[in-house]
Amino acid sequence: MSRVPGWLGRLGAGLTEMSERLDERRAEVEKEHGVDTEAVESAAPAARPAGASAASAAPARRPAVPSGPRPDPAQAVPWGVRVAAEAGWRLLVLAGTVWVLMRVISAIQLVVFAFVIALLVTALLQPTVARLTRRGVPRGPATALTAISGFVVIGLMGWFVTWQVMENIDTLSNQIQSGIDDLRNWLLKSPFHVTDKQINQIAKNLREAIGANADQITSAGLEGVQVIVEALTGILLVFFSTLFLLYDGKRIWQWFLKLVPAAARPGVAGAGPRAWRTLTAYVRGTVLVALIDAIFIGIGIYFLDVPMAVPLAVFIFLFSFIPLVGAVASGALAVIVALVTQGVFTAVMTLVVVLAVQQIEGHVLQPFILGRAVRVHPLAVVLTVAAGGMVAGIGGAVVAVPLVAVTNTVVGYLRQYSQEAQHDTAAEPAEEEEVPRNAEDPAHQE
């Protein structure tokens, strides 16, 4: 007997079994997706034309079975990547805002610095105005008297320094020349083995450098005229801004609050007085610390017979408003003057006096006078002063630390205010639910 019919029988049985499995699988899938197979098959003959045969309808395709819903593209991105993207575009927006703000400030730098200095002067003088008004003096005369007195004192300090320098310039020049000769002789006899030829070569190089840069020095002198004009303009802006801030500061603050969105207005209204108290404490404490530094260093260099001890003390007072850098620069100036006029021993003793006073200032005076109201970490002070100096020179270094102190106070208050507001919002629904429940409770009504 031939084996071909048996092979065909097994092939037919295998195809039949595969067809049954496919039908079972299709029925399961249609059941999962809610497709009624019997309804589709019963509706199929009715949908055929009257003259159509079953053979012509057989090739009709079955409805495509969906393979399942596709996931949301946002959900397909990993969570860490989504967080990084969200933070990244917000940081780009903030960086762009800061960049535009810095460009605007650089364009009107004189006005901005004048207003900031006026704020500092107002913080220093405002307690005096308040004290006079409490004693019955009208606010207008009290403001004018305080502002004029303050600027007169500042002007007298500048005039005194200039007068002392002009009066002693000849004597100081002779002492400097004598000090240079003494320093040269000391170098020749020192163990550093410096020769007269090397010293002459250094002096020659200095003269050549000055000659080569004569044009730049001349242009700097011409720019100095422009600087003087800008300084006078800034002084006038500071004076008038201080007058208005002292006289009408409360109304200016209320007008500023109207520009703030209504939702954020209560928080800003509470942060403003606290920021002002921080600024006032900083300015008054800094003035007191600078005055103590100037008095004690001035007394020390006076007894060491350093020339122009009083003008140097005034310089120390003014430079003390620049944290860290100002104390170092003013102390170095006093040491240099002592070195070139009185010799190495006097310079060393001047350095000892400066370091002793500054150590007392850093460890005793500032913590005691300034207190915790304006305490900023020393690293933050260094970085802030450096950044302010790089962005806006000496003016930026002066206003950097009070700006950071005020910002720290404002951010701390706004964080606390936000937490209290969230707590109050979470507590309100429970209170609102409790009142109707008690009112509708029959036992409560009885």
pLDDT digits 0-9 by tens, 286-314: 888 888 888 888 888 888 888 778 888 88
Q: Measure the CA–CA gap between 220 and 209, rounded to whole angstroms.
A: 16
99-115 mean pLDDT: 85
List the single range of 5-19, 31-45, 168-182, 376-390 with lowest mean pLDDT.
Answer: 31-45
Query: What percent of the chain lies above the pLDDT cut of 70?
Result: 68
pLDDT for 39 beyond 60: no
Tokens of 156: 């007298």
Q: Hunting for tokens 């860490």 — which residue is that?
A: 80
List the helix and strand counts (H, then E) for the chain: 17, 0
E strands within 148-280? none
Q: Exposed e or buried b for every residue in 388-421, given b needs 16+ CB within 10 A? A: bbeebeebbbbbbbbebbbebbbeebeeeeeeee
Per-residue pLDDT band for 225 (boundaries 50, 70, 90) equals: low
Q: How many other CB atoms sit within 10 Å of the CB of residue 276?
A: 18
Q: Which of 153, 170, 155 is nearest to 308 (CA)?
A: 170
pLDDT of 193 over the 70 cut = no
DSSP one-letter code for 34: T
Of 97-106, 154-163, 375-384, give the range with the top mean pLDDT: 97-106
Greatest mean pLDDT range, 113-127, 157-171, 195-209: 113-127
Q: Which residues contact 35 (CB under 8 A, 6 or more apart)?
A: 63, 65
Question: DSSP character for 49?
Answer: -
What SS3 class is residue 274? helix
Distance (Å, rounded) from C-alpha 262 to C-alpha 75? 36
**3-state secondary structure labels for all residues of 42-88:** HHHHHHCCCCCCHHHHCCCCCCCCCCCCCCCHHHHCCHHHHHHHHHH
Range list of H helices, 304-377: 309-319, 325-342, 344-360, 366-369
10 Å Cβ neighbour count for 195?
Answer: 10
Helix (H, G, I), strand (E, B) or coil at 305: coil
Q: Classify residue 119 as exposed, middle or buried by CB count within 10 Å of its CB (0-12, 13-18, 19+).
A: buried
DSSP 260: S
Dihedral pair phi/psi, residue 308, rounded to 5°: 55, 50
User: What does each C-alpha distance from 258 to 112, 251, 266, 411 come to in angstroms?
Assistant: 21, 11, 11, 20
Rounded Cα distance, 361 and 367, in Å? 9
Q: Which amino acid is at 181?
A: D
Angle between helices 214-259 and 265-303 (to 10 degrees): 140
